[in-house]
Structure 1
Amino acid sequence: MATKTAPINMRVLPSVRDIIDAAANVKKVDRTVFIQQAALNEAHNVLAEQRDFVLEAEAFEAFDRELRAEPQALEGVKDLFNRKAPWE
C-alpha cells in the first residue's frame, strides 16, 4: 500500500458527511477512499473535457480544413514581433 503524503482537509455539513458515509458503505470503502476516488474521477473528467471533443462529420471536415489551411500573417502581429522589447 502506498504511503499517503499530501493531506487534504475540508469541512462539510454533517448531513453531507452522512450521505458520503452511506455511499462509502455501499461501496465497502472508508470515507477517505470514497472521497479520493470520487474527486479523482471528476478531475479526470474535467481534464478530458479540456482535451477531448467530438464533432459531427461535417463539422470535423470544416475544422480539419482550417487546420490544414495556409497560415495567415496578421500585420499587427508582424509589427509587434518587429518592435524592440522595452527592456532592450
Structure 2
Amino acid sequence: MTLPSKVINFRAPADKQALIDRAVKISGVSRTEFILDAACDKAREVLADQTQFSLTSQELKRFNALLDAPLESNAAIRRLLNTPAPWER
C-alpha cells in the first residue's frame, strides 16, 4: 500500500544547494530523492538516540552492579578477542 505523497518546500543558501547538487550528480539520483533519503537517515539516527528506559533506584543499583562485575570466563569471547580483525590479516 503506497501512501500519498506530500509536498515539502524549503529554502537553502546557494552554497549548500551547490554542495547538495554536486553530491546529487555523483550519486545519480534526483535532488529530491537525495535530500529525502538524507533527511530520513538523519531522522532515524535522531529517533534511535531517543531510546529511553527508566529504572527504580533499586533496579539502577542492580544494573550498575552488573556492569561493574567482572566477566565470567568465556571461551568464545576469548577466541574473538584474540582473532585479528580482517583488516589486520
Provide TM-score, normalisation by structure 2. 0.54
Larger Rg: 1
Shift, 1:51, TM fit: 1.2
Shift, 1:61, TM fit: 2.5
In structure 2, the gaps of 5 or more residues are 54-60, 67-89
The equivalences for 1:36-75 within 5 A come to 36-51=36-51, 61-62=63-64
User: Identity of aligned pairs, percent?
Assistant: 33
Q: For residue 5 of structure 2, what is the aligned residue in structure 1?
A: 5
Output the CA distance in 2 between the equivalents of 1:9 and 1:49: 27
In structure 1, the gaps of 5 or more residues are 54-58, 65-88
Distance 1:39 1:16, change over 3 A: same
Provide TM-score, normalisation by structure 1. 0.55
- SS of match in other structure, 2:38: helix
- SS of match in other structure, 2:10: coil
- Matched pairs, number: 58
